[in-house]
A and B are shown apart, each in its own frame.
Chain A
Amino acid sequence: MPLNAIAYETEQLAAKTSVSAPQRPIATLTDITKHYGTTVALDGLSLSLHPGEVVALLGPNGAGKSTAVKLLLGLIAPTSGTSRVFGSDPREATTRTRVGAMLQVARVTETLRVREHLDLFRSYYPHPLSVAEIFRIAQLQGIEDRFFGQLSGGQKQRVLFALAICGNPDLIFLDEPTVGLDIEARRALWQQIRSLSAQGKTVLLTTHYLEEADALAHRIIVINKGRVIRVGTPAEIKRSNGGRTIRCRTRLSLEFLQTLPSVSNVEFNEGAVVVTATDAETVVRQMLLRDETLSDLEIASPALEDAFLALTKNQ
């Protein structure tokens, strides 16, 4: 009986540049509490960002991600605790000359041309990138003289990205940067983010696309209800959910499968058996030995989604 085995692996695109041994952080939030009236947005939150790393900040809506980002950008002040960027208070204008941000903006001035938007934002920074360089990085060739209001959704996102990097900042905040982009544009932006990291710059990314966090981040910080609940590499976070899943049609009983080594969960799902085990190879070897009629075999790496949902559900 031919075996139909399909192995899925989370895509590893161009390898993430390795980050050298932990260096001193360039930005920190230390023991932050932030109250809005009676609402507690952040409750004893601490995090740090290091040079050259891409950090993904994940959390359900209302977890406090935007508040944390606003604190680092100096847009708001904490109720208690300290926020430091490049050793200084982010509320000072001089600190912001090394920072760039791409935020979600409902409406950007539509009657200014792309070139004019860039001219204005570049003037804020002491050592901005050249206009040609910005056009190249953000792929704005051909639309430099268009009015912002005439651009497509994807082009508008690229302009906002250009505004974030035009000052050649060392720390960049990207808030849902690939929303509304098609696959090609998303992959192109991921490439740009990786090259920023390769230049030693730090990127803090908030996103709801867990695939994006998985593909880009050196570290993931999961927050919920105003606190950090897990920090780790994508692999560490995925592993914390208990191994890989083996899915197949088999005549082996669920009780037997439970007894196999490293199996943490067995269940029936749409006519197939789904076994969760940390040592998938051993379990599959045992199953194949005992059941020649086993078919439709799929082995899936743990999904970041599942780990994330498990983490935030338990709070």
Chain B
Amino acid sequence: MATSAIAHPLPAVTGFIHTLRIFGKETKYEFLKLMRTRSFSLSTIGFPVMFYVLFGIANRNAFTGNIHIAKYMLGGYACFGLIGAALFGIGVGLAGELAAGWLELKRASPMPVPAYLFAKCASAVAFGLIIVCILTAIAVSVGGVSLTSTELIKMLGMTIVGSISFASMGLLLALVIPANAATGIVNLIYLPMSFLSGLWMPLRFMPHWLQSVAPALPTYHLSQLMLSIFGYGDAISLATHWNALLGFTLVMLGLSWLIFHRKEQNA
């Protein structure tokens, strides 16, 4: 005998302010958590800074044509840093929380899932901005790099765009990779991809057959957009680079959505 449950009066849909508060707290604690996880924060911020200090500063007086090498490397390592923050912060972090059942507990609560995703993305952006600011400070003070305020603002804007774009890749990786292999696999993808996109060494110094791989990589397109702020971009049109980056982001998001739903069915 199925007795129908009384329709208890549920609280009215919680207000916009209440939801905003949830988004805010979720983001705050996600950022705090990442900052306090020394293995993440020290390496994500430390590596690009270390590489730039080692390779970029040495080139403070080196020029090829109009290109100031130290400034070129600032663009490259800024991308390297913000991509790492997104892939490790989200790719590894979310994979772990998914595997541990923590995400399940949060989904059983009234937390709106967009708040969780927003928090992860916003934290990746925050780390990206921190890394780029530190690199810029080093470049301007010790690297002899001159940067106009327009260039700086555009750099920060591009950092935000790039962080969001690679956050979507982090999301897909977290859904696909087993949690205990996450760090290793992310490294195996992140490092070669960065190298082959010319983030460490300008492409022109690589053999031609390696150079041809670059346009297939989203990291290449992001770095070209970043370098074009300084006028150091390649011959391919900006529109092509934007389309490539946007297309990549949409593909990552679409695949994530599909895989998440398939996981739900089989959970």
Return the CB mask of A30-71 against B: 1 if under 8 Å, else 0.
Answer: 110000110000000010100000000000000000000010
Q: Are B267 and A76 in contact (CB under 8 A)?
A: yes
B189 lies within 8 A of chain A by Cβ: no
Task: List chain A residues, Cβ under 8 A from B104.
Answer: 75, 103, 105
Q: Are B13 and A36 in contact (CB under 8 A)?
A: no
B63 lies within 8 A of chain A by Cβ: no
Instruction: State how many angstroms separate the Cβ of A159 from the closest Cβ of chain B.
Output: 12
Task: List chain A residues, Cβ under 8 A from B266.
Answer: 36-37
> Of all chain B residues, which has the CB nearest A23?
B6
Interface size range on B against A: 35 or more
Instruction: State how many angstroms separate the Cβ of A140 from the closest Cβ of chain B.
Output: 18
Interface size range on A against B: 35 or more
Q: Complex Cα distance A185/B180, Å?
A: 32
- With contacts A87-B7, A107-B102, A111-B36 taken as known, whether A30 is within 8 angstroms of B2 at the C-beta atoms is yes
Q: Complex Cα distance A74/B111, Å?
A: 13
Return the CB mask of A3-43 against B: 1 if under 8 Å, else 0.
Answer: 00000000000000000000011111011000011000000
B250 lies within 8 A of chain A by Cβ: no
Q: Complex Cα distance A70/B4, Å?
A: 20
B228-267 residues with Cβ-Cβ distance < 8 A to A are: 264-267
Q: Complex Cα distance A59/B8, Å?
A: 30
Q: Complex Cα distance A87/B22, Å?
A: 26
> Of all chain A residues, which has the CB nearest B266?
A36
A123 lies within 8 A of chain B by Cβ: yes
B207 lies within 8 A of chain A by Cβ: no
Task: List chain B residues, Cβ under 8 A from A209.
Answer: none
B1-15 residues with Cβ-Cβ distance < 8 A to A are: 2-8, 10-11, 13-14
> Of all chain B residues, which has the CB nearest A119?
B25
A84 lies within 8 A of chain B by Cβ: yes
Q: Complex Cα distance A301/B2, Å?
A: 34
B153 lies within 8 A of chain A by Cβ: no
Q: Are B108 and A103 in contact (CB under 8 A)?
A: yes
Q: Are A48 and B3 in contact (CB under 8 A)?
A: yes
B107 lies within 8 A of chain A by Cβ: yes
- With contacts A25-B3, A107-B96, A116-B32 taken as known, whether A93 is within 8 angstroms of B10 at the C-beta atoms is no
Task: List chain B residues, Cβ under 8 A from A31.
Answer: 2
Q: Are B10 and A126 in contact (CB under 8 A)?
A: no
Task: List chain A residues, Cβ under 8 A from B14.
Answer: 94, 97, 126
Q: Complex Cα distance A154/B50, Å?
A: 42
Name 11 extra pairs, CB < 8 A, besides A105-B101, A106-B101, A124-B22. A26-B5, A30-B2, A36-B266, A88-B7, A94-B11, A98-B8, A98-B10, A107-B102, A112-B29, A126-B14, A173-B108
Give B residues with C-beta under 8 Å from A. Answer: 2-8, 10-11, 13-14, 18, 21-22, 25-26, 29, 32-33, 36-37, 96-97, 99-102, 104-105, 107-112, 264-267
